[in-house]
Each structure stands twice: as structure tokens, then as C-alpha cells.
Structure 1
Amino acid sequence: MAKRVVPEADRRRRRPTKQGAVLTERLIVETALRMLHEHGRAGLTARRLGTALGADPSTLYRYFRGMDELTLAIGDELIGRALRSWEPCGDWLADLRDVGTRIYRAYLAHPEAAVLTANRVSGRANEIAGDEAIIGVLRSTGLPDAEVVRVYQAFVDQALAFAALDAASLALPQAARADDEAVWRSTYAKLPADTHPHIAATAPLLVARMNDSAYPTALDMLLRSAAAAVAAARATAADD
């Protein structure tokens, strides 16, 4: 059964932890992020987190109903870090490119956390503020709301999907990642043209490109599609 969460005003410990810190939700999330970076997803447990904080693991339930709620808070923290200093410049394409790149980079900075949280929807403050900002940028173009939501979904899902995909590679042991990256040169580049003519024809390009993220290219393609939709909507409005 989920444990009762203590109201916000009553959560703060009266005494510091063994490390001399007063527990807060933010300190717990930041410590969890550090543990994910150092020990991976399997290393993040209530017991280990309590030890890292110098507190009894049961104390964590004064802040979170369980580890799943902490996971949602971690994802919300990543979004908050992505948009903490973001300010719209007024060019909607530039603003969307900046937001997408910021989200992707914030998740990639914490690969284990990205794999754990990129597919989650928290409904927490940073996530809501980010969604409000993105939808606001799209609505400023004059797109109909149905089209705004269509582009918004593709935009957010694309950034998070690439973040999760690329983070999963970064989270691999170094030797495994190196082996994967070598396959393009050791296998694909050596396929004969008589059996695999298309791969053979493009092999040098594949070797040069396939170990880099496709997110910048995919983001460009999505934004070009969005720009075409905006142009069509504005042309329709001008004719009415």
C-alpha cells in the first residue's frame, strides 16, 4: 500500500542528517541523480538513497509515496534544468529549436536518468511550465489548435525519444558501446557490392554518420514540416 505523504509544510526534518544537511525534496532528487550517474538504475534504491543522505530510508516517504513518485520528480527536474534560463526570442522556429535542443541535452547529461524517465508523464510543475511554453509558441503562429497539438506531440515525443535512444547508448559499458560503434566500419563497410549494392554504395557515408545522433536532422525535418503547416494556415486565413 502506498504510504501517506506528509503535507509540504510538515516535511522538513527538524534535525540535520548525518551529513549535516536538512532534507528537502530537491536534495533527495539531486542525490538520486548523482546515484544514477555513479551506480546506474539498479543502484538507486530507497535503502541506498537513505544511506547516501544520512537518513533512515523511511524518511523518504515524508517526501514521496514511493520510488516511482521519485522517478517522476527526477524527470521533472531534468525538464526544469533544460528550461531554467530559457527565454523566447520571438522567432517561433528559433524558439522551438532552442527548446528541443535544451531538452535533449539536459537528458543526455544524465543518461541513466534519461532512460528511466523519458517515457513518463509527471504532471509536475516544470513539465507543465514547459508544455505551456511550447504550446504558447506554437499558438503564436496562428496554427489552428488541432494542428498545434499535432505538432506539439511530435515535437516533444521526438526530443524525448531521441534522448532516451542516445542515452541508452551512453549508458552502455564503454566496451560495449565501442563494439557497437565499430560495427559500421568492421561489418557494413565490408559488405560486397554484388550482394548489398546499396549499402556498399553508401558505406563511406554510413561510417562517417551513423555513430552520430540523428536528432539535429530529425528536428530540422520536423520544423520544416511545421513551417509548411504555418505557411498553409496563414495562406488560408488570408484568403478568407
Structure 2
Amino acid sequence: MSSERAVPAPQRRRRRPTKQGVLLSHELIVDTALRLIGQHGAEALTVRRLGAALGADPSTVYRYFRSTDDLLLAVADELIGRAQHGWRATGDWRADLRAIGLRIHAAYQAHPQAALLAAHRTTGREHETAAVEAILGVLRRAGFPDPEAVRIYHAFVDQSLGFAALDAAALALPAAAAHADLQVWQASYARRGADTHPHIAATAHLLTTDMRRSGYPFALELLLDAAAARLPA
């Protein structure tokens, strides 16, 4: 898309009917983009595909987004917003951070193809800004000094998004490939002999079970434990 064709934000907020009579809006375009990405992956993020799915002239999308990257950032911010929806601080900093982390992970797992495109982006938009404010607020109210709060915030967010992207990549695999990857633990590692690989042999029965689920919940607890150890008395 060309940024020169975008119109000012106030005009972009005007709803315009599509050929099917549906009122076009920023929210509808983002929701449609999320659906298309889920169905077709990164190649779905084109003006032509969006226009066809919306029943609108593709050029109409320019009224709401300056470029495909502008739309991608809106999709990224929407995922962050969905992760925050319904969250309320309880005053227990560990419980609050745990809830935020698990919500981030779940929101991205619900849209794995979009997660692969968006998890590494920084939007600076409404939902992301609210999330940054909320997480820093939890840490500062818990009593972490500002430099420590920022470092923990950074580690917490990168861990959450890193696992979200990793697990999304696994979910986005074709079913046959995903099954084959899981079978490696049973077909290969479980057959390693104690004479050559004593540690794998001793834990193979645990590996074949544990590697079938995300490591994020446990990794999150490890991070919270480490953060708690750094909290001033």
C-alpha cells in the first residue's frame, strides 16, 4: 500500500458500506485480517484478499490503514488487547503477573499464524501502551525499584512473547509434521541406550510426556520465583 493515499484519522473513522451493505470500519478490517491470516498465513495480508473478503473495493482499505505494515501493527495490537480483556489487578503481584503472562500466551495460541507475524513487533498503540502501564504498575506497587521493575518487565514480556511465538510456530505446522515432531521423542530419544546416553535413558519416559506440552507455565513460575528473590524486604 502507499502511504500517500491514506486519509486523516477522523475521516478513517467514518463507517462506509461495502458492496454487500456491511458497514466498513477499522475493527471489521482488523478482524477480517486476523481471520484471513489464520486461514492462509502471511500471504493473506494483501489489499486484494482483504477487499474480496470484505466485499469492498480494495482501495477502500487505504482509508483506514496507510500500508500493510500499518495493518499488521493494528493486528498485533488487537492480539495484545484480547490478552488484556477482562484482566483486573488483585494486588497480589505474582498472581497478577501470572495471569497476564498466561493470557498473553493463550491469546497468541488462539491465532498462531498471526502470532508468527506479530509477536516480535512493537506497536506503540492503545492496547500495547495499556499493557506496558499495567505490568509496570504491578511491579512498582509490589515495591520493586524502578530500574529493577523495568528489567523484570523486559524479561517477563520477552519470555511471554518468545514462548507465544515458539508455541504458535508448532501449532501452525501441518498436522503431519507436528505429529512427526512429537513422535521423535518416542521413536528416537526413548530408544537411546543407557550405555551411550545415560541421562536421556533415565528420563526418556518423562521427556516423552513433558515435551508434548508447552514449557511456558513452568518457565513463568521460574521467572516469578527469581523476581521474588530480588524484591526488597
SS at structure 2 position matched to 1:146: helix
Q: For each residue in 1:48-96, what CA deviation from the matched residue of structure 2 results, as whole angstroms up to 9, or x when unmatched?
A: 0111011121111111111111111101001101112111111111000
> 1:164 is matched with which residue?
165
Please show how residues 167-206 of structure 1 align to structure 2 within 5 Å: 167-206=168-207
Match of 1:132 in 2: 133
For structure 1, which runs of at least 5 residues remain unmatched after alignment?
235-240
Q: Structure 1's 42 and 91: CA in aligned 2 closer, same or farther, altered over 3 A?
A: same
Aligned partners of 1:191 and 1:200 also within 8 Å: yes
Runs of 4+ displaced beyond 4 Å = 12-15
SS at match of 2:56: coil
| Distance in 2 separating the partners of 1:19 and 1:198 | 63
| Residues 192-201 or 107-116, more deviating | 192-201
Partner of residue 28, structure 1: 29
Partner of 1:46: 47
Shift of 1:44: 2.6
Q: Which amino acid in the other structure matches residue 57 of structure 2?
A: D
Partner residue, 2:149: 148
In structure 2, what is the equivalent of residue 37 of structure 1? 38
Q: In the alignment, does 2:74 pair up with 1:68? A: no
Structure 2 counterpart of 1:136, one-letter code? G
**In the alignment, residue 165 of structure 1 is paired with which amino acid?**
L
Change (3 A) 1:225 1:15: closer
User: 1:12 Cα deviation (Å)?
Assistant: 4.7
**Using the alignment, how far apart are the partners of 2:187 and 2:86 within structure 1?**
43
Comparing 86-95 and 3-12, the one that deviates more: 3-12
Q: How far off its partner does 1:118 sit?
A: 0.2
1:56 counterpart residue number: 57
What is the alpha-carbon distance in structure 1 between the residues aligned to residue 150 and residue 13 of structure 2? 39
Distance 1:104 1:151 in 2: 18
**TM-score normalized with structure 2 length:** 0.96
- Give CA-to-partner distance per residue, 1:156-191, whole Å, 9 cap, x none: 111100000000000011111010011000000011
The separation in 2 between residues aligned to 1:50 and 1:128, in whole angstroms, is 30
Name the amino acid aligned to 1:171.
A
What's the offset of the Cα at 1:39? 1.6
- Percent of pairs with identical residues: 60
Two-structure CA RMSD over aligned residues (Å):
1.2
Partner of 1:88: 89
Q: Distance in 1 between matches of 2:228 and 2:13?
A: 48
Shift of 1:198: 1.2
Match in the other structure for 1:3: 4
Say yes or no: does 1:224 pair with 2:225.
Answer: yes
Deviation (angstroms), 1:8: 2.1
Matches of 2:184 and 2:60, distance apart in 1: 48
What's 2:107 paired with? Answer: 106
Instruction: Kindly indicate whether the alpha-carbon contact (under 8 Å) linking 2:16 and 2:25 is maintained by their aligned counterparts in 1.
Output: no
1:119 and 2:127 are equivalent in the alignment? no
CA distance in 2, matches of 1:20, 1:170: 36
Paired residues of 1:5 and 1:61 also in contact (CA < 8 A): yes
CA shift at 1:4, angstroms?
Answer: 4.2
1:170-217 deviations in Å (ceiling 9; x for gaps): 001111101001100000001111111111111111011012100001
